[in-house]
Amino acid sequence: MKLTLTEEQEMLRKTARDFLTDKCSKKFVKQMEESETGYSGELWQEMAELGWMGLAFPGKYGGGDMSFLDLAILLEEMGRACLPGPFFSAVVLGGLSILDVGNEEQKQEHLPQLIRGKRLFTLALTEPGRHNYDASSVAMEATRDDDSYIINGTKLFVPDAHVADYLLCVARTKPRSGITVFLVDAKSPKMKHTVLKTIAGDKLCEVVFDQLSVAKANILGRLNQGWSPVEKIIQRAAVGKCCEMVGNLQRVLEMTVDYAKERKQFDRPVGSFQIIQHYCADMATDVDSARFSTYQAAWMLSEGLLCAKEVAIAKAWISQASQRVFALAHQIHGAIGVTIEHDLHYYTRRAKAAEVAFGDADFYREVVAREMGL
Amino acid sequence: MDFSFSEEQDRFRQEVRAFLEEEIEKGCWEPTCDAWVQGFDPAFTKRVAQRGWIGLTWPREYGGQGRSHIDRLILTEEMLRYGAPAACHWFGDRQVGGAILSFGSEELKKEFLPRIVKGEAYFGLGMSEPGTGSDLASLQTRAVEDGDYYVINGQKTWTSCASFSEYFDVYVRTDPEAPRHRGISEFIVDAKSPGVSRIPMIDITGTEAWNDVFFDNVRVHKKYLVGEKNRGFYQVLHQLDYERSGMERLMGNYPLFDAIIRFAKENRLSSEPAIRSRLAQLQIEFEVGRLLVYRVALVMEEGRAPNWESAMSKAYSTEFEKRLACVTMEVLGTYGQLKSGSKFVPLRGMALHSYLGSKGYSLQAGTTEILKNILATRRLGLPSS
């Protein structure tokens, strides 16, 4: 058992932190929130050159041959920096899923492009009124038409669909049991997207398919057997969101403690008052425990171990810990923390978005209950 | 990062489990809450000692096994999981032996460590006094030098395991003129010494949980001074880091946790959404706490004394145990109020015991408030209040 990072991982963390401190100011984050695409193509290319998109992919596709655990560190730093853009959807939802279940031809076709920063992907999974991450929530039908499938219906909360080149679309190919993942050309005229206005200013979309035809060759993985890989995609996405949240919460703890040391009232730093100290101690406990449970799940995923329970524990825990941390962070920051002049709101808004993404505390508590045999 | 145990560690855990299961099967004892501090069973302690499982991390020259802190945590975790009666050796093994190792003279090490390891020396602690709780440096018990001896007068309180302790690790004032943190010393006092007397204190559950321990002109030879004279306050802070470090703060009531989950399954309560959700939440909190405790062992393994790390794990864990008791009582509803021995009592009365007993968990070995002060100042660098 070991809870520390390797030297290489520490270096990766430092490189990422330095780079993002330099490139991803809050002014930049604000610009991206207000922009149409939500990211900067220039920065995207720089990230590709640093090898970030390819970090966790095999060398034969141009990747860095590193592990999901290494990627977890990068995601944590991205969460810390509030980095806007489609990295999560392109790499965690898209690329790693293609690596998991795609055939060799699909991998050769798409992964090098992703890794070079030339192609974007996302996952179209959830649907209107069905916000649970279980198989029964997939209602969208794909019907067979010779060598193709015709997809109709609406997907909701699809991240970055407005800039994606391909969508991994999860659809029902057999009533009740069969679910299949299709790799869909996102530029098709049979697909319309609307960018939603969200708490975090990230770009979640409604995507409407109208008689969209996908060739059989673009099935990702096996026909009708898609749910089990999708479960893995959801697990990885949930842990990825946990990693972003760990970075977010850690930064908020630091900001809050710094503020408590600086801010004076009654002629002394507010951080010298015991009640503020105990709030900060509670925050630190929540952040550390969120970090360990997140990294436990990330490590298990990275090692290829079964970890439904550990993923559920990590996401259920951090989703509630996050609410507690932000309640205290705002209380300690006082009124300045609820203005847009102060940086805290970037973290508050993003944490809520991450909390509800890929399963919230209620959802994962139920997973834990099942794992306990209740 | 690596969240797995080595094959050897897994094997060791299996070995400990097999031993404990056999003990239970033979009817030696039954799993009990708080058994680490209230389960007095010299024969069990002897059997544990025979396996080399006391002083596991200590150097071989003193009878220890020189094994890792993770091994010891595996051992204690399993003891707690099975609610084993380990109180006779717990304090010596957890902290007093370590204090002697860190600060004691060679003579003290040779006198006590091999006997603790053999399960032949039981320890109680003499820290708190009637007027001295969180503010430990205010203690008033005095020791006055008299030739080769010190003469101790005063009163200690909240001493766990005191009625069967053979020795007390006592902190006393040796220099009343010095600033209060710099006038305290640590002694090992034989409980049979003339002038030592004990009065049991009954806790809210009806259990004899502690004793008042009185020292009336108790003569202690100088060789039983642990460490440096007047450095006792710094030594006790060090010892407290270890006192808070373990799994007993999270798993002291594990037999209850285990029992309520089984009870919910057997009585189909687990299909009720509210109960299901609360039990799952407990499981989540438990697993998260376990990681915080393992972090502490890893800190010790690096050769560092765990300070704010054990403050964090202890503060977190005692809150978990209080919630465990509250949730269990709610799940049991009106039956929860039945005491052990009553007709209809569920879970052998463990829920009631734990509900009442857990109120003290966040007070002993450093209140949660003191622990959060440690976290705020030592971990986060906030200014002293």
Q: What is the mean pLDDT of chain B?
A: 97
**What is the value of ipTM here, to two decimals?**
0.96
Residues of B in contact with A278 (CB under 8 A): 369, 372-373, 376
Q: Which residues of A touch B291 (CB under 8 A)?
A: 289, 292-293, 296
Token duo for residue A233: 């995609």
Give the pLDDT band of residue A128 (cuts 50, 70, 90).
very high
From B316, which residue of chain A is nearest by alpha-carbon distance?
A: A285
B380 to A3: CB separation less than 8 angstroms, yes or no: no
**Mean pLDDT computed over A259-273:** 98
- B292 neighbourhood in chain A, CB within 8 Å: 285, 288-289, 292
B2-37 pLDDT tens trace: 999 999 999 999 999 999 999 999 999 999 999 999
A281 closest CB neighbour out of B271, B289, B372? B372
| Interface mutation target, options A277, A302, A366, chain B, most CBs of B under 10 Å | A277
pLDDT of B277 reads 97
Residues of B at the A interface, defined by Cβ within 8 angstroms: 1-5, 70, 261, 264-265, 270-271, 276-277, 279-281, 283-285, 287-289, 291-292, 294-295, 298, 312, 315-316, 369, 371-373, 375-377, 379-385
**CATH number for the domain that contains residue B128:** 2.40.110.10
CATH number of residue B350's parent domain? 1.20.140.10
Residue B347 belongs to some domain of the structure:
yes
Residue B163 lies in a domain: yes
How far is the alpha carbon of B184 from chain A, nearest alpha carbon, in Å? Answer: 27
- Token pair 């050309």 is found at A185
Name the interface residues of A facing B (CB cutoff 8 Å): 1-5, 69, 257, 260-261, 268-269, 271-274, 276-278, 280-282, 284-285, 288-289, 292-293, 295-296, 299-300, 303, 310, 312-313, 316-317, 362, 365-366, 368-369, 372-374
The predicted structure's pLDDT at residue A187: 95
Residue pLDDT, tens place only, A90-125: 999 999 999 999 999 999 999 999 999 999 999 999
Q: Of B199, B237, B233, B228, which Cα lies nearest the Cα of B215?
A: B199
Angle value at C-alpha A125, between A193 and A161, nearest 5 degrees: 30
B106 and B223 housed in the same domain? no
Predicted pLDDT at A39 = 98
B250 and B212 assigned to the same domain? no
Hey, are the CB atoms on B383 and A271 less than 8 Å from each other?
yes
B272 and B353, same domain (yes or no): yes
**CA atoms of A200 and A57, how far apart (whole Å):** 29
Tell me: the pLDDT tens digits for A144-167? Answer: 999 999 999 999 999 999 999 999
Which among B71, B283, B312, B369 is the top mutation candidate for probing chain A, defined by the most A β-carbons within 10 Å of its own β-carbon?
B283
Q: What is the nearest CA distance from B182 to chain A, expressed in angstroms?
A: 25
| Residue A42 in this model has a pLDDT that exceeds 80 | yes
Residue B285 vs residues A221, A278, A310, B37, B86: alpha-carbon distances, Å: 37, 20, 12, 23, 25
Structure tokens at B363: 């007070």
Residue B279 counted as domain residue: yes
For residue A66, pLDDT over 90 is answered with yes
A372 chain-B contacts, CB cut-off 8 A: 261, 279-280, 283
Task: Please check the confidence at residue B272 and state whether its pLDDT lies above 80.
Answer: yes
Residue A261 near residue B381 (C-beta atoms within 8 A): yes
CA distance B22 to B25: 5
Let me know whether B371 and B277 are in one domain: yes
- Domains in chain A (CATH in brackets) are 7-118 (1.10.540.10), 122-225 (2.40.110.10), 228-371 (1.20.140.10)
Q: Do B376 and A366 touch (CB under 8 A)?
A: no
Confidence band, pLDDT 50/70/90 cuts, at residue B250: very high
CATH assignment at residue B89: 1.10.540.10
What DSSP element (H or E) covers A21?
helix A7-23
Residue A208 and residue A284 in contact, taking contact as beta carbons nearer than 8 Å: no
Listed residues B96, B121, B146: the one ending a domain = B121
Residues B87, B37: Cα–Cα separation, whole Å? 5
Indicate whether B374 and B266 sit together in one domain: yes
Partners of residue A288 in chain B, C-beta under 8 Å: 292, 295, 312
Does residue A218 register a pLDDT over 90?
Answer: yes
Q: Could you tell me how many CB contacts below 8 A there are between chain A and chain B?
A: 138
Cβ of B382 and A288 within 8 Å?
no
Provide the residue type at B250 as one letter. L
Cβ neighbours of B280 in A, within 8 Å: 316, 365-366, 368-369, 372, 374
The pLDDT, as a whole number, for residue A177 is 83
Alpha helices, H only, B26-105 = 35-38, 42-50, 69-81, 87-91, 97-103
- The predicted pLDDT at position B260 comes to 98
pLDDT score recorded for residue B183:
98
**Collapsing DSSP states into helix, strand and coil, what is residue A142?**
strand
Distance CA A192, CA B217 (A): 90
Question: In this complex, do A1 and B70 lie within 8 Å of one another by their Cβ atoms?
Answer: yes
How far apart are the C-alpha atoms of B94 and A366, rounded to whole Å?
38
**CA-nearest residue of chain A to B377?**
A277
The kind and range of the H/E element at B277 are: helix B273-301
Residue B172, in any domain of the structure:
yes
Q: How far apart are CA B377 and CA B379, in angstroms?
A: 6
DSSP per-residue codes, B139-194: ---EEEEETTEEEEEEEEEEEETGGG-SEEEEEEES-TTS-GGGSEEEEEEETTST
Question: CB within 8 A of B184, min separation 6: which ones?
Answer: B137, B139, B171, B172, B173, B174, B230, B232, B233, B236
Q: Does any domain span residue B139?
A: yes
Alpha carbon dihedral A281, A257, A243, B299, in 10-degree steps, equals -50
pLDDT band at A176 (very low <50, low <70, confident <90, very high): confident
- The pLDDT value given to residue B384: 87
User: Cβ B283–A288 below 8 Å, yes or no?
Assistant: no
Say whether both B146 and B253 belong to one domain: no
> Per-residue confidence at B369, pLDDT binned at 50, 70, 90?
very high
How confident is residue B349, by pLDDT bands cut at 50, 70 and 90?
very high
At A130, is the pLDDT very low, low, confident or very high (cuts 50, 70, 90)?
A: confident
The pLDDT of residue B237: 95
Nearest to B380 among A2, A257, A365 (CB): A257
CB neighbour class for B176 (10 Å; exposed up to 12, middle 13-18, buried from 19): exposed
Task: Give the end of a domain, one of B106, B121, B136.
Answer: B121
**Distances from the Cα of B341 to the Cαs of A322, B158, B281, B348, in angstroms?**
44, 27, 30, 8
- Closest chain B CA to residue A5: B1
Q: How far apart are CA B1 and CA B24, in angstroms?
A: 36
Q: How confident is the model at residue A132 (pLDDT cuts 50, 70, 90)?
A: confident
| Position B358, amino acid | S
Q: Which of chain A's residues have a Cβ under 8 Å away from the Cβ of B373?
A: 274, 277-278, 281
User: Chain A contacts of B1, Cβ < 8 Å?
Assistant: 2-5, 69, 295, 299
Q: Is the pLDDT of residue A131 over 80?
A: no
Helix (H) or strand (E) holding B106, with range, is helix B106-117
Pairing, β A166-174 against β A178-185: antiparallel
Closest CA to A97 of A41, A170, A152: A170
Tokens of B64: 């220890």
Q: Are residues B75 and B197 in the same domain?
A: no
User: Which residues in chain A have Cβ-Cβ distances shorter than 8 Å to B302?
Assistant: none
> Which chain B residues have a beta carbon less than 8 Å from that of A1?
2-5, 70, 294, 298
Helix/strand/coil for B323:
helix
Domain assignment present for residue B385? The answer is no
In the prediction, which pLDDT does A238 show?
98
* Distance to chain A for B104, nearest Cα, Å: 31
Q: Could you identify the residue written with the tokens 């020189």?
A: B66
In a domain, B11, yes or no: yes
Which of B121, B152, B180 terminates a domain? The answer is B121
Confidence at residue A222, expressed as pLDDT on a 0 to 100 scale: 97
- Give yes or no: residues B28 and B116 share one domain: yes
- Residue B162's pLDDT is 95
* A249 pLDDT more than 90: yes
Element of type H or E holding A210 = strand A204-215
Among the partner residues B265, B316, B382, nearest to A260 by beta-carbon distance: B382
- Strands A166-174 and A121-124 come out as parallel
- Contact between chains at A257 and B381 (C-beta distance less than 8 A): yes
Q: Which position has the token pair 């008689």?
A: A211
Q: Helices H, strands E: what count in chain A?
A: 12, 10
CB spacing of A362 vs B277 below 8 angstroms: yes
Does the pLDDT of residue B385 top 90, yes or no?
Answer: no
Q: What percent of chain B has pLDDT over 70?
A: 100
CA distance B318 to B313: 9
Is the same domain home to B112 and B176?
no
Question: Rounded mean pLDDT of A264-272?
Answer: 98
The set of residues, in sequence order, having a beta carbon less than 8 Å from that of A189 and lying 6+ positions away, is none
Does B253 share its domain with B370? yes
Does residue B261 share a domain with residue B368?
yes
Cβ atoms A344, A333 nearer than 8 A: yes
Check residue A255 and give left, alpha or beta (phi > 0: left; psi -120 to 50: alpha). Answer: alpha
Domain coverage including residue B63: 7-121
How many helices (H) and strands (E) would you count in chain B? 14, 8
Q: Which residues of A touch B383 (CB under 8 A)?
A: 261, 268-269, 271-272
In angstroms, the CA A23 to CA A28 distance is 8
If one counts the domains in chain B, the total is 3
Q: pLDDT > 90: what percent of chain A? A: 98
- Main-chain phi, psi angles of A200, to 5 degrees: -95, -5
B33 in a domain, yes or no? yes
Asked whether residue B272 falls in the same domain as residue B308, the answer is: yes
B291:A289 CB<8 A: yes
